[in-house]
Amino acid sequence: MVSDRLRKLREDKNLSQGDIERRSGLLRCYISRVENGHTVPSVETLEKFARALEVPVYQFFYDGAEPPNVPNVWRGKSSAEVAWGGSGKHAAYLHTLRKYLSKARDADRKLILIMAQKLVSERSRRT
């Protein structure tokens, strides 16, 4: 879908792949691969395409003049209710954790992060 929209937007503006290459810094062969659906661009690359085409990024995903209305998926819940550590006992734990981590050395923080990542990966393998 993105590849088709990218090609259509480029052609609507009468631009060649070479024009996009000069405007974005992306190689023409890469632009071709994206337009033909052989490569999926990253968000950063989509931003480069958007700047080169002088369009907002949402137009790669939505065919309309105005941005689409985004429904409130949390249905009235505040960010504190949605986020872990936003309220209650988890907030107190997170506050304490932040306090101790701010006093730790960089090497110790990195070690703690590595250990936490390993714990999460072990837990996800078990489930």
- State yes or no: pLDDT of 120 exceeds 80: no
1 pLDDT tier (thresholds 50, 70, 90)? confident
CATH number assigned to the domain with residue range 2-60, chosen from the 4 options 1.20.1070.10, 1.20.120.1200, 1.10.260.40, 1.10.3720.10: 1.10.260.40
- 33 pLDDT band, cuts 50/70/90, is very high
Average pLDDT score, the chain: 81
Q: Domain extents for the chain?
A: 2-60, 90-126
How is the chain classified by DSSP, letter by letter? -HHHHHHHHHHHTT--HHHHHHHH---HHHHHHHHTTSSPPPHHHHHHHHHHHTS-GGGGT--SSSPPPPP-TTTT--HHHHSTTSSHHHHHHHHHHHHHHHHS-HHHHHHHHHHHHHHHHHHHHH-
